[in-house]
Amino acid sequence: MEPGIGAAQHIRQVLVFFVFLEGSSVLSTTWNYSVPEEMETGSSIANIIKDMDVGDLAARGARVIFDDYHPYLRLELETGNLFLNEKLDREALCSTGEACILHFQVLLENPLQFFQAELLIEDINDHTPTFLEKLIFLNISEGATPGTSFQVENAQDLDIGINGIQNYSISPNPYFYLKLKDSGKGRIYPELVLARSLDREKEASISLILTATDGGSLPRSGTVLVQVAVLDVNDNAPEFEKTLYEVQVPENSSVDSLVIKVSATDLDSGINGEISYSFSHSSRDVQKTFKIHPISGEVHLKTLLDFEVIQSYTLNVQAIDGGGLSGKSAIIVQVTDVNDNPPEIVITSLMSPIPENCLSEMVVAVFNLRDQDSGENGRMICSIQDKLPFLLKPTFRNFYTLVTEHPLDRESRAEYNITITVSDLGTPRLTTQHTITVQVSDINDNSPAFTQISYTMFVRENNSPALHIGTISATDSDSGYNAHITYSLLQPHDLQLDLTSLISINADNGQLFVLRALDYEALQAFEFRVGAMDHGSPALSSQALVRLVVLDDNDNAPFVLYPLQNASAPCTELLPRAAEPGYLVTKVVAVDRDSGQNAWLSFQLLKATEPGLFSVWAHNGEVRTTRLLSERDVPKHRLVLLVKDNGDPPRSASVTLHVLVVDGFSQPYLPLPEVARNPAREEDALTLYLVIALASVSSLFLLSVLLFVGVRLCRRARAASLGGYSEPEGHFPAHLMDFSGAGTLSQSYQYEVCLTGRSASKDIQFLKPVSQP
């Protein structure tokens, strides 16, 4: 480490330490000292004891500290004198244009006290003016006019003030004189002024000596040689080979490719004959697209060309010689097209959806084709897919219309994706495709269609009210509101009943309901029509036939026609005692208002006085004897028969028969009424009956025989008059008629019942079967 630097660091540490001590003082007064530069080392500058009145410097630890910590001065503690520690060079320490002042402090450590001081370094004339260049060249045209000024380089002097440069002078000559120009900052600059015209042919070169002098007490000066070259007058401008150049450049030319080379000539020599090329009055497009070599005149591309943006450029070219004269020419650059742009499709109008009942050649879309290329590259052909009901028609220039070929059918196809294909005729061909979607809107042109032409539905009688019996369904090929179907009942003209009181239909889903219970015996089947109507405008409808078949339920018990069970006295059948086995005692006749197997009747003997004496045929109800009667058999028999149908569950009715065994049809009998008897009075009643029977048997039997004979004679006479057909007297009630023929009373039998007016007894005569004609 250098001693000066170490001392400075030590002093800095001491200063930092004493700054924080209390009682320190810094005087605001500044002592100014000056010294000429280049004064010898050890020269005395001042005495600080006298100036600052600080007492004993050694005891107080005095120090001299400069701002840059360099020991320019040395303090003698015993005397207080300040001596130069080294020679001071003002130009080295300070800039040339400013006063050179070094700031320093005198530090007293005990007690701590600071004194501020300044050392002014005075300039002396110790530097000679110098020129930077050893030789100054000036090129002056022989055509320069007198009074023209030519600036020359000025000299440099490191001294300042009066010691700086104060004057310039030039060696005597007939052509130039010197003019000084003040810069405004205390400096002057020399200019050569042409006193008269030059003539290169007489003197091609002039040498001058320029002298710079400062203002010191002993002036110093510096010189430089000025060599003036008289230049030839440029009286010939450059000329191009052509006033107009034309060139064609493909738009796909690469960057830096050569466009054209221009050339110009100049009859002058030297610099006047040296030509440089450039663009003049060029547009921004030209400047960013082309560049020209200043020496060779070659024009190259700076960027890629685009025929679709700019088809031609006009380049104004100038050739300038060294004297400033120029010649002009123009270059026309034609950009040739290449097929680098595919065709463009611009849809200007699109109608979607379109109604399916549209007319032929209805305009669906209008579009425009565009290709930025030219010639064959810009010619285009347009097409769409095959097998579509659409046509392309050219209209104006490159406008096309897409029209319908014929009316459409939405039900067969509701949407079309139409791809428009456009190709140009360039090489290679470029193709563009654009797909548009055309929706077909629905028109109410389809009536609702039932899934079946007719429907057959079944319902069992005695059904519950509002019973769902089935659903009819219709579809409509239309869509939206046109396909919304409403169902309704159509009142038939030939149905006696009110249909709306029997059937109801859900207008939305076609469900059919029976509103009330049906009776098979009253109504077996009926037909009606239902309608389906859409909500289009106008509305369309269709009909379907519905046949409702009522299924029989076993809800009627068999009804006994014979013997009648509601008579006041029971019916008594007569059985001769001599009857053979299999003798027909009687036939029970019954009917059932149900149908089918619900009306199939069977007969069964439930009770009998003599169980083995009688039998009943299960299918026709005939009661016959099974054996001969004996003397031990009781004369009166009571039979209980059960008539049962074949329904599920089966229904039945019972009938009671009284059979009286007689020794012949002449034996009278009294029927025993089915009345309740009092056991206490049974013997008295029996005696009364016997007396009455004995009294009237003879007369009743005789009357019966006579009446029977008379009736038979009358019937035979009537039968003979009617062709042998015998019609039984009287008739059954209407409500006992068998409509279906399913009962046991066959039309092949007729029975004649004869009633007497004097008694409750009944006679029945079995006749032979009579076939209806």
Cα of 644 vs its chain's centroid, Å: 76
Residues facing residue 641 across a β-bridge = 605, 655
More confident residue, 671 or 693: 693
- Closest C-alpha to 761, from 568, 530, 496: 568
For the segment 462-466, the average pLDDT, to the nearest whole number, is 90
Reported as a pLDDT band with limits 50, 70 and 90, residue 721 is: low
Q: What distance in Å separates the CA atoms of residue 656 and residue 563, rounded to the nearest whole number?
A: 8
Q: Which segment of 30-34, 61-65, 594-598, 689-693 scores lowest on mean pLDDT?
A: 689-693
- Closest C-alpha to 655, from 563, 576, 740: 563
What percent of the chain clears pLDDT 70, i.e. is strictly above it? 83
For residue 406, is pLDDT > 70?
yes
Alpha helices in 242-300 (DSSP H): 284-289
Residues facing residue 604 across a β-bridge = 642
Proportion of the chain in helix, strand, coil states, percent, rounded to 5? 15, 40, 45
- Average of per-residue pLDDT values in the chain: 80
pLDDT of residue 530: 94
pLDDT of residue 672: 41
Report field, pTM of the whole predicted structure over 0.75: no
Retrieve residue 485's tokens. 């179907």
> Could you read off the pLDDT of 302-312 as tens digits, one per residue?
999 988 889 89
Collapse the DSSP code of 596 into the 3-class scheme (helix H, G, I; strand E, B; otherwise coil) and give the result: helix
Q: Which residues of 112-134 are buried (b: 16+ CB within 10 A; e: fewer)?
A: bbbbebebebebebbbbbebeee
pLDDT of residue 432: 93
pLDDT of residue 384: 92
Retrieve residue 373's tokens. 């290329």
Q: What distance in Å separates the CA atoms of residue 54 and residue 381, rounded to the nearest whole number?
A: 112
> Could you read off the pLDDT of 223-238 as tens digits, one per residue?
999 999 888 777 778 9
User: Quick count: other Cβ atoms within 10 Å of Cβ 214?
Assistant: 23
Retrieve residue 741's tokens. 């023929």
For residue 161, is pLDDT > 80?
no
Residue with tokens 């004064």: 39
> Could you read off the pLDDT of 169-178 as tens digits, one per residue?
999 999 999 9
Contact, 116 vs 51, CB < 8 A? no
More confident residue, 628 or 698: 628
pLDDT of residue 411: 84
Q: Which helix (H) or strand (E) holds 214?
A: strand 205-214
Reported as a pLDDT band with limits 50, 70 and 90, residue 25 is: low
* Angle CA 200–201–207, to nearest 5: 45
Residues facing residue 365 across a β-bridge = 350, 402
pLDDT of residue 17: 38
Reported as a pLDDT band with limits 50, 70 and 90, residue 566 is: low
pLDDT of residue 693: 64
Supply the DSSP string of 62-103, one letter for each residue: EEEEETT----EEE-TTT-EEEESS---HHHHS-TTS-EEEE
Q: What distance in Å separates the CA atoms of residue 667 and residue 577, rounded to the nearest whole number?
A: 11
Collapse the DSSP code of 230 into the 3-class scheme (helix H, G, I; strand E, B; otherwise coil) and give the result: strand
Q: What distance in Å separates the CA atoms of residue 48 and residue 29, rounded to the nearest whole number?
A: 13
More confident residue, 44 or 422: 422
Give me the sign of the Cα torsion angle 698, 701, 704, 710: negative
Q: Which segment of 142-146, 386-390, 495-499 scores lowest on mean pLDDT?
A: 495-499
For the segment 491-519, the average pLDDT, to the nearest whole number, is 86
Collapse the DSSP code of 396 into the 3-class scheme (helix H, G, I; strand E, B; otherwise coil) and give the result: coil
- Residue 32, φ and ψ in degrees, nearest 5: -105, 130
Q: Which segment of 44-53, 340-349, 588-597 scores lowest on mean pLDDT?
A: 44-53
